[in-house]
Every structure is written in structure tokens, then in C-alpha cells.
């Protein structure tokens, strides 16, 4: 199974190796709005299948959180939703900043605009919240109703009074906006700066109009950094990465630039580089910034950003050093949140480098912190990580129980794609235990479900494990088709790590199918990816393919060399990959006339096979409740 392994780097910012995350169920519908489908011409929001489609049946790809928010606005029509309520209902039991909400709002607005939803508008009601104004209907019976946003009746005060009060608030806020728009930046006091900064959080597009409306001649040297930095923040909030980069770079060139200002803009610029997948650019600016931060005013932000960049660039030793420094700092300052994050990240790195015992130690320590803080999200992620490690040690019973517990703990707050990855991992436990029929049942349905929604990560993970199941059952033609398709998709998407897994397993399949030259070429390609990503799993798979190809080509010395490297990497792990390495080593040593080594490998292989077969026989786990996904 390789469900969790393949996506560890995608979660390096959270410090966890496994993609086990938030929200599996669509938002609960209110009693007055129990429609299965809502129509916002020309879009149909299907709450049962968790999808947005056009009237022609074409799927419109949206993120799970955007779907949840859009469905919520449809369900709660005739009512203004406050920011607090939106954040509470969209991210239950999870702390997020307002910027997460504003990003979702902007994406919904873009969706409605791109789809040509005439008359529909997601309006911001100042000091109150948001409301979707226009026409919505029940797609099942073609009923459409127009509505205007009205506030729900309160327990105190007549409606007329509240309407007058709302109008007065609108006038006052409009006056404040006019004042901000007409202010010259050189005259801004602290309170007025806070108004602009609040506008960036509340309405970044409006803030951009204000900031861009000031001519350069009115911006004093003292205000140059503040203006450029917050212009960058507004652009970053809206996803304008190129404009944000230019703004932060200009901020760093400001004439009157203090150390704290430099550090803040450096962190933001590194965030831009991170989102643009440019880790070396991040490292180049973060390393000197961390040295500059003598007073450690930005130590945590700089360290986390630098560790992320190191991990993305494959510099795991450097990332480890940073996380250990963070761990020490968090312990001294009693910051449990950062301590948990550092422990999780160290576990992730240990996992990637093949040190499973160390990974378990770090993850268990992080789990203790998460449970102590009643952080169900992080605890669920860590349980998923531990499940993966137990699974790779052939403790299928414990692994399946951990996966089910993680799913149960996180079910209310997981995003649907991440929940799907957790279901894939749960299915992989059955595959490892030899229950291929059960595993394939999950894989077939999950892949179709993911393809329909455009969830590439889920689709690739499912395809990979479906191919591994075929390979394990010696269905080589089927496995070759699956891995070839997956390799083409991941290469076109420039998904290096997934491409490495697909290439290495395809190479193994071709070698087993007696196509050694093709296998050797692919194995060499995947070895390069393994070196770049420092992924030991890809390295082991590639060495296996290379060794079998050389064995087919009668170049026994090269086969032995590759297998000895693989044996060293596998250590004492209890899994089917190590068994294949050992059984192939028996053949390679014998062909190379090294009968002593062949006999030693044979003894190890026999012992390991007995352990694995016993683990399969002992696996009888059934979850108390099924792991379900919307529309699956």
C-alpha cells in the first residue's frame, strides 16, 4: 500500500505524513430547505452527489469548501450569515483566520461570474455578513423563488427599528470608506492604517482600489514600506501571486526599512514562493532573515517557512535541524501548538527517510499533545499516520482500527477529498491483508467518484493502489495499463513524487513481464526522482525493478548490487516489498554463484513470509460504522 506515502510532501506544512483531513459530509440541511438539488441558473448544486453541474450535465470543478459554502448560502436563504457563523459552520472545531473565509467568498463570486449566473450576487452587508441575492430553485421540481436578503427576527425590538438602524450603519460605513479613499497616505494615523488593514481582511478587492488609488508622489519614505507590504497582502489574499511578489519585493527595497518590517515582508514573500513552488527562492531569502532576527520576533514564522522550503527541495537534514530548533523553542515558551507541529513534522521526515521506529515515536508524542489540547483534527491526522506505519509492519488489525478511529474522530470536519484518501488507506489495509476483493470494491468506486469531481489526488492515489493490487495478484497486463495511464497523467501535471511511484511500479511490472530493457530505462528514471525527493519507498521500488531487469539480462553482478542496496534500505521491516527483495536476492545470489548469501537470504525470506501469512490470517477487523463519502 502506498496511499499515505505518496502524498507526505503535500502536507509538510501541517507536519503530517498522511493525507487525512477534514469534512466528509455535506452540510446538514435546515428543516425548511431540504432540497436535494438547488438551481442557480445555469448551475445545479447537487447536495446528494456533492457536485456542481451545468444544465447540460457538465461538471463544474469547485473545491470542497467552496461547495460547502455555496450549499450553505442556498440552504440559508432569506438570512444574512455573519462571518462568525460562516467560519463556525464551515470549519467546525478548527481554528482558521478570516482570510480562509474571504478566499472562499472570492471563489464563489468568481464561480457565479464565470458561469454567467445573471442576477446572482454574493453580497457583503457591512457590519453584518454575507447573503446570496437573486433567484434559487429546487432543481427537482423547477420551482424558482426570488428573495431579498432580510435579517432574521430577533427576540428584541421591532423589525422597522432594525431596518432604520441597518440603514444608518450602511451610511456610516459608506462615510468611513469615503474618508479612507480620500486620505493621503502620508497623513494616515495609526487608527486609519488599521481601517485599511481591516478592509484588506474584509474586502481585499476594495482595499486594492484604495491602495492603488494613491499616487506615488503622495507616498512618503516613511509610508513606502507600509503601502507596498499591505498591497502585497491584499494581492496574496486574492491569489494574485505575481502582483504580490512584486509588491513584497518593492517593500523590501523601501528607503526607511526597519528589521521587523524586513522580516515580516520576507515571510510573506516566502509564502508567495511557496505557493509558486519555488522553494530555492524561499530558502535564499529566509536563511539570511533568520540570522537577522536576533530578538526572535519572527522566529516561529521564519522557521516554519524555511523548514517547509527545505522539505520541498529535498533538504531533509536541514529541515530536521529547523524543526528541532522549533521544538526546543516551543518547549521553552510552553507553546503546545508549535510543539505538536514540530513533532509531527519530525515524524514525517523520519517516515520519508525510512526510520519507522523514530517516526512512530514522534507521531505518538505529537498525538499526546493533540489529545491534551482536545485537537481532534490533529489527533485524527496523527492516528492516520500511525495506522500507515502499523500497516507497513504487518499489524493490519491495529492499522485498520487506527484508520477507522481517525475517520470517526475527524468525520465532522474533514474536507471530502482528504476523507477519501483516508478511505483509500483503509481499503489498502485489506489489500495488504490479501483481501483483494474488498480492496478492489473500494478502489473501483473511489476512482469513478474522484474522476467525476476532478479530484486528481484521490484519483491518482486510488489508481496507484489499484495497480499494486493487480501486481500483487500477478495480473501484469492489467497492472501495466493502470501504471502507464497514471504515469502519463502525473507527468503532464508535473507531479514528481506520484510520477516516481508510477514509474517505479511500472518498471517492476515490465521486469516481471520479461521486458527488461524497458524496465531498466524506467527504473533509472525513477531512481533520479527518488534522489531528488529523497523518498526511500520510490528508491526501494526502483532498485527492485533494476535488479529484476538485470537478472533477466543475465547481468548478475548489477542485480546483486541493486538488491544489496534495497536490503539495506528495507532494514527489518515486515512487509511484502522486503519479502520480494529477499526472494529476488536468493535468485540473484545463486545466479552469481554466491550460495552462502543465497542461503542466508532464503532463511530470512522464509521467516518473513511466515510472519506475513500469519498477519493475514489474524486480520478479521470490521469497523463499527462504514466509512462513507457523499455520493459514494
For position 255, what pLDDT does the model report? 85
Nearest CA to 377 among 628, 93, 627?
Answer: 93
Cα angle for residues 69, 74, 76 (degrees, 5° grid): 90
CA gap 360, 464 in Å, rounded: 25
- The tens digit of pLDDT for each residue in 406-418 reads 887 776 566 677 7
Q: Cis omega before residue 41 (within 30°)?
A: no
CB 441 within 8 A of CB 625: no
For position 154, what pLDDT does the model report? 37
Q: How many CA atoms within 13 Å lie on the side-chain side of 588? A: 29
Instruction: Using the Cα atoms of residue 546, residue 548, residue 551 and residue 557 in order, give the sign of their dihedral.
Output: positive
For position 144, what pLDDT does the model report? 39
- The tens digit of pLDDT for each residue in 183-215 reads 555 556 667 677 778 888 777 788 888 788 776
What's CA 620's distance to the chain center, in Å? 31
CA distances from 268 to 230, 244, 258, 272 (A): 10, 9, 16, 7
CA gap 176, 201 in Å, rounded: 16
- The tens digit of pLDDT for each residue in 35-44 reads 457 888 788 8
- The tens digit of pLDDT for each residue in 102-130 reads 778 878 888 887 777 776 778 777 557 78
Q: What share of the chain has pLDDT > 90, as a percent?
A: 33
How many contiguous H segments (helices) and E segments (strands) does the chain have? 26, 7
Cα angle for residues 347, 417, 267 (degrees, 5° grid): 55
Cα angle for residues 465, 468, 472 (degrees, 5° grid): 140
CA gap 377, 383 in Å, rounded: 10
The C-alpha cell of 208 is what? 486594492
For position 17, what pLDDT does the model report? 30
For position 500, what pLDDT does the model report? 92
For position 91, what pLDDT does the model report? 73
CB 127 within 8 A of CB 173: yes
Please give the residue that has the higher pLDDT: either 342 or 422.
342
Burial code (b: 16+ CB inside 10 Å, e: under 16) for 15-43 equals bbbbbbbbbbbbbebeeebebebbbbbeb
Task: Decide if pLDDT at 326 tops 50.
Answer: yes
- The tens digit of pLDDT for each residue in 541-599 reads 999 999 999 999 999 999 999 999 999 999 888 899 999 999 999 999 999 999 999 99
CA gap 231, 247 in Å, rounded: 6
Q: What is the DSSP string of 192-248?
A: HHHHHHHHHHH-HHHHHHHHHTS-GGG--HHHHHHHHHHHHHHHHHTT-HHHHHHHH
Amino acid at each position: 500500500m502506498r496511499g499515505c506515502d505518496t502524498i507526505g510532501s503535500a502536507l509538510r506544512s501541517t507536519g503530517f505524513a498522511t493525507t487525512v483531513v477534514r469534512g466528509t459530509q455535506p452540510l446538514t440541511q435546515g428543516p425548511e430547505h431540504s432540497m436535494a438539488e438547488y438551481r442557480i441558473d445555469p448551475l445545479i448544486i447537487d447536495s446528494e452527489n456533492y457536485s456542481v453541474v451545468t444544465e447540460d450535465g457538465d461538471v463544474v470543478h469547485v473545491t470542497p469548501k467552496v461547495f460547502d459554502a455555496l450549499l450553505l448560502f442556498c440552504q440559508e436563504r432569506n438570512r444574512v450569515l455573519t462571518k462568525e457563523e460562516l467560519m463556525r459552520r464551515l470549519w467546525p472545531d478548527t481554528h482558521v483566520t478570516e482570510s480562509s473565509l474571504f478566499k472562499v467568498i472570492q471563489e464563489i463570486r468568481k464561480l457565479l461570474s464565470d458561469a454567467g449566473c445573471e442576477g446572482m450576487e454574493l453580497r457583503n452587508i457591512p457590519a453584518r455578513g454575507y447573503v446570496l441575492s437573486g433567484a434559487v430553485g429546487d432543481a427537482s421540481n423547477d420551482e424558482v423563488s426570488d428573495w431579498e436578503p432580510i435579517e432574521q427576527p430577533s427576540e428584541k425590538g421591532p423589525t422597522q427599528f432594525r431596518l432604520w438602524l441597518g440603514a444608518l450603519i450602511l451610511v456610516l460605513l459608506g462615510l468611513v470608506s469615503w474618508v479612507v479613499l480620500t486620505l493621503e497616505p502620508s497623513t494616515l494615523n495609526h487608527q486609519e492604517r488599521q481601517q485599511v488593514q481591516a478592509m484588506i481582511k474584509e474586502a481585499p478587492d476594495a482595499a486594492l482600489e484604495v491602495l492603488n488609488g494613491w499616487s506615488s508622489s503622495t507616498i512618503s519614505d516613511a509610508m513606502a514600506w507600509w503601502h507596498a507590504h499591505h498591497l502585497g497582502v491584499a494581492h496574496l489574499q486574492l491569489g494574485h501571486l505575481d502582483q504580490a511578489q512584486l509588491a513584497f519585493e518593492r517593500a523590501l527595497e523601501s528607503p526607511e526599512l526597519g528589521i521587523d518590517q524586513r522580516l515580516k515582508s520576507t515571510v510573506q514573500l516566502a509564502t508567495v514562493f511557496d505557493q509558486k513552488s519555488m522553494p530555492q527562492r524561499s530558502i535564499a531569502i529566509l536563511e539570511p532573515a533568520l540570522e537577522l532576527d536576533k530578538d526572535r520576533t519572527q522566529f516561529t514564522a521564519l522557521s516554519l517557512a524555511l523548514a517547509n522550503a527545505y522539505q520541498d527541495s529535498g533538504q531533509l537534514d536541514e529541515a530536521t535541524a529547523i524543526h528541532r530548533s522549533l521544538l526546543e523553542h516551543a518547549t521553552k515558551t510552553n507553546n503546545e501548538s508549535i510543539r505538536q507541529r514540530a513533532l509531527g513534522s519530525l515524524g514525517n521526515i523520519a517516515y520519508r527517510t525510512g526510520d519507522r521506529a523514530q517516526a512512530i515515536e514522534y507521531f505518538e508524542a505529537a498525538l499526546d499533545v493533540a489529545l491534551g489540547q482536545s485537537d481532534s483534527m490533529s489527533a485524527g491526522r496523527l492516528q492516520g499516520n500511525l495506522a500507515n506505519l502499523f500497516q507497513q509492519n504487518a499489524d493490519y488489525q491495529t492499522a485498520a482500527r487506527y484508520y477507522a478511529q481517525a475517520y470517526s474522530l475527524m468525520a465532522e470536519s474533514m474536507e471530502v477529498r482528504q476523507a477519501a484518501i483516508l478511505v483509500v488507506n483503509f481499503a489498502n489495509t485489506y489489500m495488504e491483508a490479501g483481501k483483494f476483493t474488498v480492496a478492489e470494491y473500494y478502489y473501483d468506486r473511489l476512482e469513478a467518484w474522484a474522476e467525476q469531481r476532478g479530484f486528481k489526488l484521490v484519483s491518482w492515489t486510488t489508481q496507484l493502489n489499484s495497480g499494486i493490487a493487480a501486481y500483487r495478484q500477478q495480473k501484469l497486463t492489467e497492472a501495466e495499463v493502470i501504471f502507464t495511464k497514471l504515469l502519463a497523467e502525473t507527468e503532464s501535471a508535473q507531479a514528481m513524487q506520484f510520477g516516481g511511484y508510477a514509474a517505479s511500479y511500472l518498471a517492476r511490472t515490465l521486469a516481471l513481464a520479461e521486458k527488461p530493457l524497458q524496465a531498466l530505462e524506467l527504473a533509472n528514471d525513477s531512481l533520479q526522482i527518488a534522489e531528488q525527493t529523497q523518498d526511500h519507498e520510490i528508491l526501494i521500488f526502483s532498485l527492485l525493478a533494476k535488479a529484476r531487469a538485470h537478472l533477466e539480462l543475465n547481468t548478475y553482478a548489477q542485480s546483486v548490487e541493486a538488491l544489496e542496496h534495497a536490503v539495506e534500505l528495507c532494514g527489518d521491516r515486515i512487509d511484502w516489498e522486503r519479502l520480494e527483495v529477499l526472494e529476488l536476492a536468493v535468485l540473484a545470489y545463486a545466479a552469481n554463484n554466491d550460495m552462502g548469501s543465497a542461503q542466508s537470504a532464503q532463511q530470512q525470506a522464509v521467516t518473513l513470509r511466515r510472519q506475513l501469512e500469519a498477519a493475514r490470517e489474524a486480520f478479521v477487523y470490521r469497523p463499527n460504522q462504514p466509512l462513507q463519502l457523499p455520493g459514494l
